[in-house]
Each structure stands twice: as C-alpha cells, then as structure tokens.
C-alpha cells in the first residue's frame, strides 16, 4: 500500500484521518461479525486447516489496511512505503485461499444454507478477483495518492460481505440474501463520495470505479451462477461429498 504523502496542510491531514477512520470501521465490521458468530456458537475452531489459514490471511489484511492508514495519518511515510509491498504477495494469497475456502465449505456442508450453492460457488471467486483488481490497481497507482487510497478502500468494501453477513439477520433476507450482504459494504464507497462532494465539490472518479466494479462483479456472478455451466460446475464440485446432500437452492434448516 505504498503511496506518496501530501504535506499540503489541514485539508490533506483531514482526508488522511478520514481514511484511517474508514479503515478502522471496516476492520470493526469484520471483527464484530466473526466474533459474534463464535460467541453464539455458530462457528468453531474445530475445522480443517484451510479455514485457519484463510482466517489468518484475511484478518492479516485487515490489520495491514488499518496499520497502513494509521502510518499515513501519523506521517510515517517511509515505513508505509516499505510495508506496502507486502500487499503484492498478500492479495494473490487472499484470492487463492478465498477460492479454496469456498470449495471446502461447499464440499463439507454445502456452504451457507441461506445462499444458493451455485450462487456461493460462482459469485464468491468473482468478488475476490474484483477485490484483487481494485487493490492491485491501487498499488500500481501508488504515486497518485488520490486514486491510491480510494481504490484501496473501495477494494476492501467489496469483501465486507462475510462480516456484514454475520451481523445482519441474513437468513431472513430470503432470495436477496446474497445481494444484500455483498452490496451493503459499498456504503463506505458512498460515504467517501459524499465527503468528496462536500470538500472537493465533486466525487472523485476512483469512487465510481469502485462502485461500478462492486455492482458489476455481483451482477456478473449472479448471471453466470444460474447458467447451465454454473450449476453443472457447482454440482461437480460437490459430488461425492457431504455437501451434495443439500438442495441447490437456499433453505431454512
């Protein structure tokens, strides 16, 4: 997450503090969601290693995002730049483990019961690739601070679904459970747009890129999930495993 540091006065410092607060709020959503699940007994540590690896890597990304935002807010640009190169390795690892946990969850239990299995199988990897594209795009544009920080935050907004999905009453959303839990994270993008309009007079174009990427990837995933190919792939992955016993459609146990 390396970036340049704008020394330009009060407005620049205020923007840096805003992005730090947004990163903290995003981290709080993830921590609260998974902590609530654990406290209510809906999850357990007695799971295969891939769950633990996935958890360590994804929570590590949250810690990295908050740390990097705090370093910029505190003016420690040198450490921010050095630490930022971790993201080049971390992001592909997140995509790989995210896909691995999707497949493992489907094979073990059929995935979350409140999502259609094919929806979960196809849309999840597409969402991860979208996160990776936005985040790596932010790394490429690290010398353009305005684009860098907005794309990085936008990328994080696209993977807040697992956090919000554990806080919200997701099973009660019925057929719209996947869409709601995966779109609600874009509220952070909208918040950034509103702040820009107030302080800059217009929303920065990076926010539109993040917004369209989030909505577009969800639409693409939904379309592909319900094609014959999407359904057949899901059935093939689940075949011969306990997860194959669940119906393809979401259900209430």
Task: Tell me the per-residue pLDDT of 216-244, one tens digit each, with 9 for 90 and over.
Answer: 999 999 999 999 999 999 999 999 999 99
Give the pLDDT confidence score for residue 5 in this predicted structure.
Answer: 40
66-105 pLDDT, tens digit each = 999 999 988 899 999 999 999 999 999 999 999 999 999 9
- Taking all residues of the chain, what is their mean pLDDT, rounded to a whole number? 92
Count of the separate structural domains present in the chain: 1
100-113 pLDDT, tens digit each = 999 999 999 999 99
Q: What percent of the chain has pLDDT over 70?
A: 96
* 1 domain-assigned: no
Residue whose C-alpha is closest to residue 142's, from 242, 68, 224: 68
* 44 domain-assigned: yes
Give the pLDDT confidence score for residue 97 in this predicted structure.
Answer: 96
- The pTM assigned to this predicted structure is 0.90
139-193 pLDDT, tens digit each = 999 999 999 999 999 999 999 999 999 999 999 999 999 999 999 999 999 999 9
| Count of other CB atoms within 10 angstroms of residue 53 | 15
Question: DSSP for 155-216?
Answer: HHHTT-HHHHHHHTTGGGGGGGHHHHHHHGGGHHHHHHHHHHHHHTSS--HHHHHHHHHHHH
Give the pLDDT confidence score for residue 10 in this predicted structure.
Answer: 83
The token pair at 94 is 């997140």
* 3 domain-assigned: no
Assess whether pLDDT exceeds 70 at residue 53: yes
Residue whose C-alpha is closest to residue 50's, from 107, 6, 8, 12: 107
Give the pLDDT confidence score for residue 45 in this predicted structure.
Answer: 73
* 56 domain-assigned: yes
Task: Note down the domain range covering 174.
Answer: 9-240
Give the pLDDT confidence score for residue 234 in this predicted structure.
Answer: 98
d(Cα 243, Cα 226) in Å, to the nearest integer?
19
- As a whole number, mean pLDDT of residues 46-65 equals 92
| φ, ψ (nearest 5 deg) of residue 162 | -60, -35
Assess whether pLDDT exceeds 90 at residue 11: no
* 70 domain-assigned: yes
Distance of CA 239 to the CA centre of its chain: 28
Assess whether pLDDT exceeds 50 at residue 6: no
């Amino acid at each position: 997450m390396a970036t340049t540091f704008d020394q330009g006065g009060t407005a620049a410092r205020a923007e840096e503090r805003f992005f730090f607060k947004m990163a903290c709020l995003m981290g709080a959503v993830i921590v609260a969601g998974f902590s609530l699940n654990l406290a209510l007994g809906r999850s357990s540590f007695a799971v295969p290693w891939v769950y633990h690896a996935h958890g360590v890597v994804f929570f590590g990304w949250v810690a990295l995002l908050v740390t990097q935002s705090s370093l910029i807010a505190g003016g420690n640009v040198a450490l921010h730049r050095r630490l930022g190169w971790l993201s080049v390795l971390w992001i592909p690892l997140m995509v790989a483990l995210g896909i691995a946990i999707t497949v493992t969850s489907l094979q073990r239990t059929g995935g979350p019961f409140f999502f259609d299995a094919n929806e979960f199988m196809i849309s999840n990897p597409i969402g991860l690739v979208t996160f990776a594209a936005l985040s790596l795009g932010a790394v490429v544009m690290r010398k353009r601070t305005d684009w860098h920080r907005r794309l990085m935050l936008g990328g994080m907004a696209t993977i807040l679904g697992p956090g919000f999905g554990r806080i919200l009453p997701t099973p009660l959303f019925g057929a719209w459970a996947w869409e709601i839990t995966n779109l609600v994270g874009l509220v952070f993008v909208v918040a950034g747009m509103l702040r820009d309009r107030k302080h800059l007079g217009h929303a920065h174009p990076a926010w539109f890129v993040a917004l369209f990427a989030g909505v577009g990837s969800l639409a693409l995933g939904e379309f592909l999930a319900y094609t014959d190919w999407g359904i057949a792939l899901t059935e093939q992955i689940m075949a011969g495993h306990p997860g194959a016993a669940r119906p393809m459609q979401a259900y209430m146990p």
